[in-house]
Each structure stands twice: as C-alpha cells, then as structure tokens.
Chain A
Amino acid sequence: MKKNIKLIMCLLVSVSLLLTGCGDSNEADTVRIGVLVSDTTSAEALAFRNYFTEYIQNQFNVEFIYSDELVDSAQEISAFETFITNNVKAVISFSSFDRSAQIELAEKQGIFYAVATGTLTDEEYDKFKNYEYYVGAIGPSLEREFETGYDMANHYLDQGKSNFAIFGGAIPYYTDMHIYRAAGMLYAMVKAGGEGANYKGQATVEGIVGQIYADGSIDTGAVGDVEILGYVGGYDMDDAWFAMCTQMAQLPGLEVLLAVGNGSDFFGAAVQGSNVKIASVDAFASAYGEAMENGVLDYLAGKFSASIGPIFIATLRAVQGNPVRTDNNEALALSQGYWIATSFEEFERLYALDSSVEAPAYSKEMLSLLLNASYDEFSDFVSQYSYDQIRNLTQ
C-alpha cells in the first residue's frame, strides 16, 4: 500500500507537470484577465463566456480565468485573491455583491478593474472615477433599464391588454437593475391607467422606484384601469417557489406576464396551450429563439453576446498603458441598450448578426478600431448598439 501511495503521488505530480508543459509557448506574453461571474449556467452567461473564451481569446493574446459561480461578497474576494495569485493584469466583473470592495482591492493590488453589462451608481462613479486602476463600466444604465421595462409593458398596453402579472426576479435582493425595470413597467401602467392612476399612491418615476425599494416587492391590485393580478419575486427555486410561479402563470384572466429577467424558463411550461404572453429581459441566445418559435416567449429584450467586446478593449488598453479616459482623467461610464424582438422572425433576423463565435456582432476588425480611439470615438462606437447601427458598422 505504501508503494501505491508513492505511485499515486508521483502520478499526480507527473500529470501536473505534463499538463503544465502543454501550455502555450507564448504564455509569458499573454495578458491574463480574471472574470468574476455570479452566474455560470444561464443562456446569457454562457453566451458571454463563449464570446470571451471562444472568440476574443483566439483573436487577441489574452487568457481569461473565470471564477466559479459566486453567491456572496466573501466568495468575490476569494475569487479576486485567486486571480491575484495567478498574476492577472485585470479583472472584468459580472458580479456585484460588493462592488466597492472589488474596486478597492483592485486599486490596492494594482490590478485594472472593469464592470461588464452594468454600470455604477452615480455615487459610486463619483467615488471611483479617478482611481488609477478603475477602467470603467459599459452596460445598460439604470435609466436604460427603466426604459426597457416601460417599453415592454407599453408594447402590450398599446394592444389593449390590461391584466398583468409581474415576475420581479431579484427585487427582493434589491438588485438595482431589476427594480428599475419593474418601475418602468409600473410607470407605463400608471400612464395607461387613466386619470388619477397610481401605484400605491405613487405616480412619478422617483416615487415608484422609491416605493419598490421600500417594499422589496410589488403589490398586486389596480393601477387605475390596469390590473396587476399576480407577483412572484426572488429565485428560491424550491418546490414551493415553482408552485407559486405555476399558480401565477395560470391566474384566471391573466393576459401578459412581464418578467424583469428570464420569464420563459420559469413560466413557459405553465402557459403552454394558453393565451398568456410572456415577455422577458435576457439575452439573444438560441434557447430563447426556440421559445419564441414555440410560442412560449412573445417579447424579448436581450443583450447580444458580443456587447461585452468594448469593455474588453478598454481593459486591454488599460493593461497596455493606453487607458480610455475623459479629458478630466475620469473612467469610462457608457451605457448600452437592448435588442428587442417581438416575433420569432424578428429574433432570427437579429440573432443572425451575433449567432456564432466565428462571426460575432463585434469582430476583431471592429474592436481593433477602438484600440487607439479617443474617449469620444469610443463612446460613439458603444452608443451604436442597435441592430441596424451595428450592421452599418460592419459594412
């Protein structure tokens, strides 16, 4: 048995050496970038990861090191420390349990830090904008999130629908983006609800947002002539939670289920065969195309996988000593929006532009234009995120 132990230990070391020896000979010149993620399995998360690891990593001399799925700030710090151990030059974060701690740790360790698919709050930006190692953020602003929810609800209000249910996603966890999307939905209902319509006494954007923050949920009831028949929030994903989802999707009289995040995965089975429409905010991924084709998903406000290309370039430039800063030496703060599809045909048309890691919406050639762009030029590129605008960029 002693020999077996020795043999196993030798094998472990040998395999380690062998695997290590298989590394790329240009590894010394490779820029290592850590990626913090709070989701590793959703279609959106996989689409983003594939773009980075299957396209960007093959086009630029970078290596992405991903965290495991993070669930709290302690794990964020642990993952960050692991990145530092692996001598990453920068971290791109999709996780926001403790954004401040991440930025402070990066600054202390001399590692560039960037926020993908999100933005800082105004207070956070004011605090960190001049940090040397804070690259910036590119993603939907909270105002854009509000508009997304507003447009979604308005799409159905214009059709004369008046009986809604809302899936609040991470509202119970006070996730800003979900709160603002929901607020947009409610504001659209207030506007459509007739004279005196309000949500719990609130009829302004600020009031509705504040009410959701105060409650951590959304109440059912009348908003003037519009009815909120049901609400489910959180991601408990236990039997009781799924039962509540099913029950909500099958409420008598329900016409539309508005989801601040993914809706078809949680409610699709329950609405099958009914006339209830599901509207989601998620990503342009093949799974949601299938959901639209099958009639499970009726409206998709989605991010495209290559939308994270510009933040990668900004991060790479920072590492290379050519950061994208304003004239006042402030970090990036750019907003992106969503692609909207209201039919399978429209989904197919949009998805064709970003359906393959071989030919993403933002190619190497397009991104390379940003390597020496000024802040204004960079901003102009990022602002052209609509399907038509990107098509024009590719031609």
Chain B
Amino acid sequence: MKKINIKNRIMNFAPIFGLIALSMMFFVIGSLRNINVLFGLKAILNQSVVVAIVATGAIFIYSLGSFDISLGASVTVSALLGAITFNATNSILLMFLVCILVAVSIALFNSVLASIFNLPVFVTTIAMLSVLNAIVLLLISVNGTGSTVSISASSVQNLNTEWFKIATLMVFAGLCTFLFNFTRLGRMQKFIGGNPICARLTGISSKKISIISFALSGLGVGIGAFLLIVYAPTLTRNSASSVGMDVIIAIVFGGMPISGGARSKIYSAIVGSFSMTFLSQIMVMFNMNSGINQIVKAIIFILVVYLATSNQRRKILPR
C-alpha cells in the first residue's frame, strides 16, 4: 500500500516532471544548437505569462466543473477598452483599472446570465463569445485607426520588463493559491466540482461560489489584458484570439481534470502554460514544418495528459 501511495503521489506530479523534462530538453538542445539561452528564457516568459495568468484565474471556474470558452475574446475586449482609455487619458493606472473592471464585469455577466436562465455556464459563454467578437469589431471600427487600436510603445516600455511580469505573475498566483488551497472558498469549489448534488445538500450555494469564481477569473483576464497591451501595444481584431484555446490546453496540460473537483490544482495553469511554450521553442529549434510540429506537440500533449490522468481514472467515484 505504501508503494502504491508513492506511485500515486509521483503520478500526481507528472505534469511538473513534464515541465522539468521539457526545460531540460530546451537547455540541452539549445546548448548544442548554440542558441541564446538567456534571451530564450525571456521569450518563454513573455510568451507564457498572459496565458498563465488568465488560466490561473480560470482554474476557479474549471474546478467547479464549468467551462468558459469566451476568455480569449474577453481579453481582447478588455485590452481594447484599456487602450482606448489610455489614448483618451494618457493614464496607465486608468488603463489598468479599465482592463480589470471590464473583464470582471464580463465575467460576472456570464455568471449571472447562467443563474438567471438556469443554463449551463458553457452555454452562456458560447453566446458571450459571439457578443464579445462583435464588440471587438465595433470598438475597432469606431476607435481604431484603420484596423488597429494602439498606444505608443514608449508609454509602456518601462513596464515591458521581465521583472514586472514575474512579479505580477507571482502576486496573482500567490493570491489564487491562497484562496484556492487555504480558504473555505477553494474547498467549497472542489466540493461543488466533485459532487454538486451533495454540495447543495450540505448547504453550499453554488450560485454564490460561481459568482466569486467568475470574478476571480475576470481579475485574471483583466491582468492578462493589461500585460497584453504592455507586450504588444498594437491591438487588432485577432489580438488574443488564441488565448482562449491556449488556456484550455494549458490547464489540461498542467494536469487539471476537466471535470473539476477535489483533484483540481491551482498550479496546473502555470505548469501547463510554460510547458507549452517550452515545447514550442523546442520544436522551432528542430525547424520542422508546421504540420509536423503540430503532430509532435499533440503526441506529447496526449502523453502528458495520459500520465497525469491515468491515476485519477481509477479513483473517481461514480456520481
């Protein structure tokens, strides 16, 4: 039994081992290929941090067994309105606050809509995705110059640093970790995700928890939107278009069970985001064509997910 427990614990950390393995591969192959490793680490941070933060906030939704497909569009709308605000006020603080406010508002609207109509959250976020995409087009056509909304790169240059991004990620991840692992909120979320009927019977209000979860997710989206502007001050209708899918992949890649529940892990988002980026960087070093790259990524993704979930499958209680 002790041996089995050790195995189970090791398997639970398979995504972390995967991240370690990928980073080792990056350094080994990079050294042999004579790449700029230090700059590579900077690039990996830049390419991961938005997804990592948005995905970390999204864990609060996914742990409930819910699903939000509109996160990417929400990032885009928040970023656009933030940039428009900056162009009107020349205030970075206001830009940041608008990003947060808009993202949280969108998230809460999603949650309230689901509650009012008693619909699965997934359904309302699909509808919201269409609405947000339309808003994106409207914002660009009304406020943009041509097909873009942009702010001057020099305005945010001081914030476009590794230390600012690392600090932002650490603060947000720390907050989420505390709430998820050390407060009643996290426990109730896992309970709802694991067995919503039993949770309801014990007096937990799933609607209240859902609203709080979406608010935290919105906070992550808002911060991600702000960092997106800092990184790429020129925004278009396609900005952050891949974030929604990347968040889902990152969370699953990081070992988060799609069904949510007790085995939800707050660190999945960060592990998954950085693992994906390391993998992408490694594939570039091999310089294979896009098709092969995608196939290899898919195989590795399936492998990691299999290892991470193989232990869970035997342990899930019937509902």
Asked whether A13 lies within 8 Å of B25 as measured between CB atoms, the reply is yes
**A residues within 8 A CB of B303?**
8
Any chain A CB within 8 A of the CB of B35?
Answer: yes
Which residue numbers of A lie inside 8 Å of B, CB to CB?
A: 1-2, 5, 8-9, 12-13, 16-17, 19-21, 23, 27-28, 40, 63-66, 68-69, 71-78, 81-82, 84-87, 97-98, 101, 104, 172-175, 213, 216
Distance between Cα atoms of A13 and B21 in the complex (Å): 8
Q: When the two chains form their complex, are residues A87 and B36 in contact, meaning their CB atoms are under 8 A apart? A: yes
Q: A87-B36, A101-B153 are in contact. List 13 more A-B contacts (CB 8 A).
A: A9-B17, A16-B29, A65-B284, A72-B235, A72-B241, A81-B47, A85-B43, A86-B284, A87-B34, A98-B148, A101-B232, A104-B153, A173-B236
Contact of A40 among B35, B42, B290 (CB under 8 A): B290
Taking a contact as CB atoms under 8 Å apart, the answer to whether B281 and A85 are in contact is yes
* B234, A97: Cβ atoms closer than 8 Å: yes
Known: A8-B303, A20-B33, A74-B239. A175 touches B147 (CB 8 A): yes
**Residues A174 and B147 in contact, CB atoms below 8 Å apart:** yes
Asked if A87 and B10 sit within 8 Å, CB to CB, the answer is no
Q: Please state if A98 and B281 are interface contacts (CB–CB under 8 Å).
A: no
Is B238's CB within 8 Å of the partner chain A? yes
Chain A residue with the shortest CB-CB distance to B76: A72
CB-based contact B241/A1 at 8 Å: no
Q: Which residue of B lies closest to A86 (CB)?
A: B35
B46 interface residue (CB < 8 Å to A): yes
Interface residues of B in 230-270 (CB under 8 A from A): 231-242
Asked whether, in the complex, the Cβ of B287 is within 8 Å of the Cβ of A65, the reply is: yes
Find the B residue at minimum CB distance from A38: B238
Please determine whether B10 and A5 come into contact, CB atoms closer than 8 angstroms.
yes
Question: B43 and A82: CB pair below 8 A?
Answer: yes
Whether B238 lies near A72 (C-beta < 8 A) is yes
Asked if B43 and A78 make an inter-chain contact with CB atoms under 8 angstroms apart, the answer reads yes
Partner of B35, one of A16, A68, A87: A87
Which 4 residue pairs spanning A and B have beta carbons closest together? Answer: A174-B146, A74-B232, A81-B43, A85-B40
- Minimal Cβ-Cβ distance residue in A for B137: A172
Alpha-carbon separation in the docked complex, A330 to B56 (Å): 48
Contact assessment for A74 and B7 in the assembled complex, using a CB-CB cutoff below 8 Å = no
- A7 shortest CB reach to chain B, Å: 12
Residue of B nearest to A1 (CB): B7
| Interface bits B17-29 vs A (CB < 8 Å: 1, else 0) | 1000100110011
Beta-carbon contact of A74 and B28 below 8 Å: no
Complexed CA–CA distance, A330 and B33 (Å):
34
Check B147–A2 contact: CB distance below 8 A: no
Chain B, residue nearest A99 (CB): B234
Contact of A72 with B232 at beta-carbon distance under 8 Å, contacts A1-B10, A16-B25, A87-B35 already known: yes
Closest partner residue, chain B, to A64 (CB atom): B287
B284 & A97 in contact (Cβ 8 Å cutoff)? no
User: Which of the residues B28, B30, B236, B293 comes within 8 Å of A73, measured between beta carbons?
Assistant: B236
Q: When the two chains form their complex, are residues A78 and B46 in contact, meaning their CB atoms are under 8 A apart?
A: yes
* B11 proximal to A (CB < 8 A): yes
- Tell me whether B39 is interfacial, beta carbon within 8 Å: yes
**Contact between A16 and B28, CB atoms less than 8 A apart:** yes
> How distant is the Cα of A74 from the Cα of B239 in the complex, in angstroms?
7
* Alpha-carbon separation in the docked complex, A77 to B43 (Å): 9
Question: Do A12 and B25 contact each other (CB < 8 Å), given the known contacts A73-B232, A74-B239, A85-B281?
Answer: yes
Q: Which of A64, A69, A75 has the most CB of B within 10 A?
A: A75
Q: B14 at the A/B interface (Cβ < 8 Å)?
A: yes
Closest B residue to A173 using CB positions: B147
Interface bracket on B: 35 or more
Q: Say yes or no: A9-B21 contact (C-beta < 8 A), given A1-B10, A23-B33, A69-B290.
A: yes
List B contacts of A21 (CB < 8 A).
32
> Is A17 within 8 A of B231, CB to CB?
no
How many A-B contacts if CB must be within 8 Å? 131
Given A81-B43, A81-B47, A84-B39, are A68 and B34 neighbors across the interface (CB < 8 Å)? no
| Contact partners of A174 in chain B: CB under 8 A | 146-147
Scoring A40, A87, A104 by chain B CB atoms within 10 A of each residue's CB, the highest score goes to A87
Verify B42–A213 contact, CB threshold 8 A. no
Q: Is B307 an interface residue (CB 8 A)?
A: yes
Listed by A's residue number, 5 A-B pairs whose Cβ atoms lie within 8 Å are: A13-B25, A71-B238, A72-B240, A77-B46, A97-B234
**Bound Cα distance from A63 to B284, whole angstroms:** 12
Asked whether B28 lies within 8 Å of A77 as measured between CB atoms, the reply is: no
**Chain A's nearest CB lies how many Å from the CB of B135?**
16
- In the bound complex, residues from chain B placing their C-beta under 8 Å from that of A173 are 146-147, 236-237
Bound Cα distance from A13 to B28, whole angstroms: 8
Asked if B286 is at the interface (CB within 8 A of a chain A CB), the reply is: yes
Q: Looking across the interface, which residue of chain A has its beta carbon closest to that of B47?
A: A78
Interface residue? B141 (CB, 8 A): yes
| Docked-complex contact B240 and A74, CB < 8 angstroms | yes
- Alpha-carbon distance between A251 and B268 when the two chains are bound, in angstroms: 53
Whether, in the assembled complex, B132 has its beta carbon less than 8 Å from a beta carbon of chain A, the answer is: no
Is B94 interfacial (CB-CB < 8 Å)?
no
When the two chains form their complex, are residues B29 and A20 in contact, meaning their CB atoms are under 8 A apart? yes
Contact call A20/B307, Cβ cutoff below 8 A: no
Chain A residues closer than 8 Å to B289, beta-carbon distance:
66
A16 to B296, CA, bound (A): 13
Min C-beta distance of B47 to chain A, whole Å: 5
Complex Cα gap A378–B37 (Å): 38
Q: How far is the CB of B4 from chain A (nearest CB, A)?
A: 10
- Answer yes or no: B188 CB below 8 A from chain A CBs: no
Which residues from chain B contact A66 at a C-beta distance below 8 Å?
Answer: 287, 289-290
Q: How far is the CA of A216 from the CA of B148 in the complex (A)?
A: 13
B173 at the interface (CB under 8 A from A): no
The reply on B55 being an interface residue by CB < 8 A is no
B6, B11, B232, B303: residue with the most chain A Cβ atoms closer than 10 Å: B232
B228 interface hit (Cβ, 8 Å): yes
Chain A residues contacting B285 (CB-CB under 8 Å) are: 86
Please give, as numbers and ranges, the residues of chain B lying within 8 Å of A86 by CB-CB distance: 33, 35-36, 284-285
Verify A98–B234 contact, CB threshold 8 A.
Answer: yes
Chain B residues lying within 8 Å of A5, measured Cβ to Cβ, are 10, 14, 17, 307
Residues 26-80 of B contacting A (Cβ, < 8 Å): 28-30, 32-37, 39-40, 42-43, 46-47
Complexed CA–CA distance, A75 and B238 (Å): 10
